[in-house]
Chain A
Amino acid sequence: MPHVDLTIEICGMSGDGTIAAGALLNGALSRAGFSLMAFDSYPAEIRGFGRCVTRTRVGVEEMVALTSETHVLISLDDEQSLSRIPFLARSATVFFDNRPPSYVPEGQSIAAHVEPHITLLGIPFGNLAAEATGTTRGRNLTALGAFAGAFDLPSEPFHEVIRKKFDPKGEKVAQANIKSFDAGVQYAREKLDPSIRGILSLPQKTMEKDDRELLSGNMAIARGALDAGLKLYFGYPITPATPIMEYLAKVLPERGGRLLQMEDEISSIGAVLGSFYAGSRAMTATSGPGLSLMTELITHGVMAEIPAVIIDAQRGGPATGLPTKSEQSDLHAAVFGGPGDSARIVIAPTNVSECYEYTVKSFQLAEKYQTPVIVLTDFFLDNRVENVSMPHAAPEEISDGNVYPDPALKGHYRRFERTESGISPRSIPGMEGFIFTTTGLEHTEKGIPDYAPQNHMQMSEKRHRKITGALAELPVPKEFSQKESLDVGVIAWGSTFGSALEAVRKAEKKGIRAGALKITSIFPYHADSIRGFMERCGEILIPELNYEGQLANLIGHLFGKEVTRLNRVTGEPFPASIILKKIESLVT
C-alpha cells in the first residue's frame, strides 16, 4: 500500500462555501477509508468579509497533528489564497478558478504567485457550476469535484456525503449539488494531464465500513456528556464552546434532559452547582472570559463541596482576546483562579477520543470528590475533526459516583465529616434523616459557619487531602519513547501534545534519543511519574501555546534544573516542525 500523507487546504472568502466544502471533503475521505485530521480557521465575525481556510491532513495511518506544509490548495478566492502560498510544499498542486467574473490586474490571480515547481490547475469552477445547474452557487462543489477527478478518487463517497447534507433541503437541492460536483469531476478527467493523477492512492480497505466516526472535539464532549447521563445544561454562548451548546440544545431534550441559555456565565455556573446540589448531573461550557466570570462560584463549589463540570474551551486571551484563535493560556486560571486556597480538579484531553473519555470521567470525579472539575480544551482541539473509533462508556464509567452516607448514621449526619480520604459522605437534599446546611463561609463538619483558626486549618487540610487523593483516579502521564535514556524529553498537554509526538517521532528517525510525555491530569498532577521521566532525560522541553509557560510554571520545579520553554502565541496550532527544530538545537 503506498504511503499517503497529504495536507489539503481549501481557501476562500466568507460566503464562498469554503467551510462547507471542507466538511464534505472530510466526510468523503473518511468514507473512502482514509485517516484524517482537519481544522478550519475563519474570521471572528459571524458573517462578512474575511478569510476561511479548511485544512485536512489525510493518510492511512493515525494522524496526531497537522503539518505546516500544504500539498493541495483549492483556491475559491485568489486574493485570500495568496496568504497560503508560503505554506505550499515543493510538489504542491494548486486548483484555482481560471474564469473569474471579471478581468484582474497582474498579480491578483494566484497564478501570478505560485513557484514554477508547483502544479497549477486552472478550472472554470463558476462556469462549470453554472452550466450544470444554472447558477454559480455550487462552484465550491465543482472545485471539490475537480480535486476528486484530478486525483482519481471515486465519486461515490462524495455523492453520499453531499446527499446526507442536502437531502434534508429537498431532492432538487441535493441533485444540483451533485451536478456541480460531477461537472468538476468530468472536467478534470477530460481536460487535465493524467500524469498528475495517482497522488492519492486509496488504502486497501477503501469503501469498507468501519466503526470510525468523523467527530470534532466539541462534538465528542457533547456526546460524552450525554452518555454520562447529563440531565441539565446551562450556558451562555461563547466561541469556541458554543457548538457544544448548539448540539445539546437539539439532542438533550430528546434524551429527557433540559438546556437553558442563561443571561451570563455567572448564572450558568450557579445553575450547574444548583443542579448537582439537587442530585442531577449538569454541565456548562465556556471560554476564558466566561471562566473568569465563573471564578467566584467555582470557589463556592470548592468550599461548599458541590460538584460541577465546566468545559473551558480556551481561546486567545487575555480579555476578549482572539475569539477564533487557539491558545493554552487558561491553565493558571483553571488551576489557581479564584480567592482562597481553592484546589479543584483540572484535566486536559489531547485528542478527540480523549475529549469524550474525559468528559465522561469528569462527572464521576465531580460527584465522588464533590468538587468542580474543569475540562481544559482549546480552539484547535474543539474544532478539529478526526475520524475516530468512537469509545462507548462502560456502565461502571457512567454509574453514580456519589459516596452516600451510611444509613446507620441517620440523625447523626455530618455533611463535611473529616474522613481519612477527605471525602465526606454526601447527602442529596431530601434524603430523610440526612439534613444539612451548606454555605460558602468556612464551616464545621455539620456545615455551621465557623471561623475558628483550628477549624479553618482542619477543613482546608481536609479539602486538599480529598483533591490529592483524586490523583489515584486521574489518568497517569503516558510516555512515548524507544529508549531508556533520552537526550530530550518533551512534555506537552492539550492539542500541542500531538505536535510534540510528531516532532519526537521525526527526531527519532533522525537518530535523536527523544521521547514524549503526555500529561492530561493538570491538577492534581502525577509528580512522581513526571519526575521519573525527567530524571531519564538530559533536557526537558515544554512547548505550549501561551506566553508565560504555564505548564512549565506548574511542573518545571520537578526537574533538577531549568526546563526549556518553547512558547508561541500566534493563534495557530503548534507546528511540529518548530518543536523538532528546538529538539535538534538541544542536542547540538
Chain B
Amino acid sequence: MPGPHFVVIGNGPAGNEAALTLREKAPDARVTIITRNLGGSYRPHLIPEFIAGNIPEKGLFAVTPDTYTEKNIKFRHGQRVVDLDPEKKTLTLDHKEVIPFDGVIIAVGGMPRIPEYLKVFEHSMLTLKTMEDARRWISTLAETDSVLLIGGDLTSLAVTKALLSLGKKIYFMLTEHAFWPLRPDEALFAEVSDRLACKGVDVISGKTLEGLASTSENSFIVRFDDRRELEVGMIGAFFGLAPDIGFLRRSGIRMDRGLLVDEYLCTGFEGVYATGDCAQIYHPELRDYWVSIGYANAEVLGRTAANNLLGGKDQTAVAAESIFEAEGINVNTSWWMEF
C-alpha cells in the first residue's frame, strides 16, 4: 500500500524545511513541493550580498533541485497552485492538473508589498524578492550611479550596505510605512536616519512622493510635496512582504491578511497546515494572532508544521519579544495585531 502523499506549497525557508522534515520523518510518504518560482530554495536574506557581488549565485541556494531528486522529493517548480479544496483534499494547478493529497503545508511566503498610494508608480519601481528580481537589480545597477530607496524594511538596510559597497549614491526616503509590519518608535526612526546619514546616505524624511517622470530608461525625475525634485537612475521599493494567499480565497480556510492557524499551525481542516510568512499564528496567552518574519524563524516554523502534520503536537516556539539584528540596529518585533 503506497504511503501518504504530502504536498508542500512553496519552497522558501519554511517550505523547504517542512519538506525536508517530512522526508526525513516519513520515509514511506510521497513528498511533493510545488512552487511558482524557478530553481532551488534560496536564502532571501543573502540576495543583497549577491547584488553586491560578494557571493556567487550558487552561494544563494540552500538546496538545489538535484538535492530534492536525491532525497526523493518531487519538485515541481514554475508551477502555480490556483485552488485548494481542504475537504476533498485536492489542489489544482494553473495548468488544470488536479492533485490529491493526504496532507498539505502552505508555505507560500509573501509578495513585495507596495502601499496603495504608490501603486500608480509601481511600474517604475523595482522590488527585491526573487532571483529574477535580483538579476534585474544587477543589470539596472550596471547602468546607473544613483538609487532612490523608498520605504525602509529590513531588506532595504542590507541593500543600502550593498549599494554603498558598489559606490552608488543613495537617497533613502523613510516613510511612515518603514519597517512594516513592525512599528518603529520615534527613537528607532531617528537612530536609523542617523546611521544612514553617517554612512553617506542622503536621508529624505517627512516628505511625500507626489510625482515621478521617466526621462529615459535609466533616469527618473522624482518630485516631492515640497516641490523639490530629484534625479536618480533607479528606484527601489521596500515595504515588506504581503502574504501571497489570494489563490485560497475560495478554499474556506480562514484568513485575515494571512492564513489563520492555531498554535499548532493547523488551519482547522484536518491535514491542512500553514507556516512561515503567510501564516497568522494564534497565541493562546495573548488570545490573538501573531506573525513571524525572518529566515531563521521561518525554518523553525516549517519544521514545526511538518512535525504536526505527522501527528506531533509542537507549539510554535516564540519568545515574547524576539529580536532581529539588521546592520547593527536591534529591531524589536511586535505582535501583529493590527492585521
Where the two chains meet, the residues of A that have a C-beta atom closer than 8 Å to any C-beta of B are 96-100, 102-106, 108-109, 111-112, 115-117, 119-122, 193, 195
Interface range on chain B (Cβ under 8 Å from partner) = 20 to 34
- A99–B66 touching, CB < 8 Å: no
- A120–B78 touching, CB < 8 Å: yes
B40, B94, B100: which contacts A122 (Cβ < 8 A)?
A: B94
B38, B69, B93, B98: which contacts A193 (Cβ < 8 A)?
A: B38
CB distance from B130 to the nearest CB of A (A): 10
The residue on A at minimum CB distance from B99 is A106
- A116–B69 touching, CB < 8 Å: yes
CB distance from B26 to the nearest CB of A (A): 19
The CA-CA distance from A97 to B96 in the complex, in Å, is 10
In the complex, besides A102-B96, A106-B97, 14 extra interface pairs with C-beta distance below 8 angstroms are A97-B95, A99-B96, A100-B95, A103-B92, A103-B98, A104-B97, A109-B95, A109-B96, A109-B97, A115-B65, A119-B38, A120-B78, A122-B94, A122-B95
- A115–B69 touching, CB < 8 Å: yes
Q: Tell me the B90-114 residues at the A interface (CB within 8 Å).
A: 92-100
The CA-CA distance from A103 to B83 in the complex, in Å, is 12
- Does B283 count as interface, using CB distance less than 8 angstroms? no
Proximity bits, B144-163, A CB within 8 Å = 1, else 0? 00000000000000000000
Q: What residues of B have a CB within 8 angstroms of the CB of A119 in the complex?
A: 38, 78
CB distance from A128 to the nearest CB of B (A): 14
CB distance from A78 to the nearest CB of B (A): 9
Q: What residues of B have a CB within 8 angstroms of the CB of A117 in the complex?
A: 65-66
- B69–A96 touching, CB < 8 Å: no
- Does B223 count as interface, using CB distance less than 8 angstroms? no
Proximity bits, B167-191, A CB within 8 Å = 1, else 0? 0000000000000000000000000
The residue on B at minimum CB distance from A122 is B95
Q: What residues of A have a CB within 8 angstroms of the CB of B75 in the complex?
A: 116
- Does B77 count as interface, using CB distance less than 8 angstroms? yes
Q: What residues of B have a CB within 8 angstroms of the CB of A116 in the complex?
A: 40, 65-66, 68-69, 75, 77
A–B complex contacts, Cβ < 8 Å, 13 sampled: A99-B95, A99-B96, A100-B95, A103-B92, A103-B98, A105-B98, A112-B76, A112-B97, A119-B78, A122-B79, A122-B94, A193-B38, A193-B132
- Does B135 count as interface, using CB distance less than 8 angstroms? yes
CB distance from B333 to the nearest CB of A (A): 34
The residue on B at minimum CB distance from A195 is B135
**Known: A116-B65, A119-B38, A193-B38. Is A111-B79 also a contact (CB below 8 A)?**
yes
Q: What residues of A have a CB within 8 angstroms of the CB of B66 in the complex?
A: 116-117
The CA-CA distance from A99 to B92 in the complex, in Å, is 12
Q: What residues of A have a CB within 8 angstroms of the CB of B65 in the complex?
A: 115-117
Q: What residues of B have a CB within 8 angstroms of the CB of A112 in the complex?
A: 76, 97
Where the two chains meet, the residues of B that have a C-beta atom closer than 8 Å to any C-beta of A are 38, 40, 65-66, 68-69, 75-79, 92-100, 132, 135
Q: What residues of B have a CB within 8 angstroms of the CB of A102 in the complex?
A: 96
Q: What residues of A have a CB within 8 angstroms of the CB of B38 in the complex?
A: 119, 193
**Which 4 pairs from chain A and chain B are nearest by CB?**
A116-B65, A98-B95, A116-B75, A109-B97
CB distance from A255 to the nearest CB of B (A): 52
Q: What residues of A have a CB within 8 angstroms of the CB of B135 in the complex?
A: 195
- B68–A103 touching, CB < 8 Å: no
**Known: A116-B75, A195-B132. Is A98-B69 also a contact (CB below 8 A)?**
no
CB distance from B41 to the nearest CB of A (A): 11
A111, A121, A195: which contacts B97 (Cβ < 8 A)?
A: A111
Which of B38, B75, B78 gathers most chain A CB within 10 Å? B78
The residue on B at minimum CB distance from A115 is B69
The CA-CA distance from A97 to B78 in the complex, in Å, is 14
- A103–B96 touching, CB < 8 Å: yes
The CA-CA distance from A201 to B275 in the complex, in Å, is 44
Q: What residues of A have a CB within 8 angstroms of the CB of B98 in the complex?
A: 103-106
The residue on A at minimum CB distance from B69 is A116
The residue on B at minimum CB distance from A114 is B76
Q: What residues of A have a CB within 8 angstroms of the CB of B78 in the complex?
A: 119-122
Q: What residues of A have a CB within 8 angstroms of the CB of B92 in the complex?
A: 103
CB distance from A193 to the nearest CB of B (A): 6
Which of B69, B79, B95 gathers most chain A CB within 10 Å? B95
**Known: A115-B69, A116-B65, A119-B38. Is A104-B76 also a contact (CB below 8 A)?**
no
CB distance from A125 to the nearest CB of B (A): 11
A103, A106, A111: which contacts B100 (Cβ < 8 A)?
A: A106
B68, B77, B94, B97: which contacts A108 (Cβ < 8 A)?
A: B97
The CA-CA distance from A121 to B95 in the complex, in Å, is 11
Q: What residues of B have a CB within 8 angstroms of the CB of A111 in the complex?
A: 76, 79, 93, 95, 97
The CA-CA distance from A104 to B65 in the complex, in Å, is 25
Q: What residues of A have a CB within 8 angstroms of the CB of B69 in the complex?
A: 115-116
Q: What residues of B have a CB within 8 angstroms of the CB of A106 in the complex?
A: 97-100
The residue on A at minimum CB distance from B75 is A116
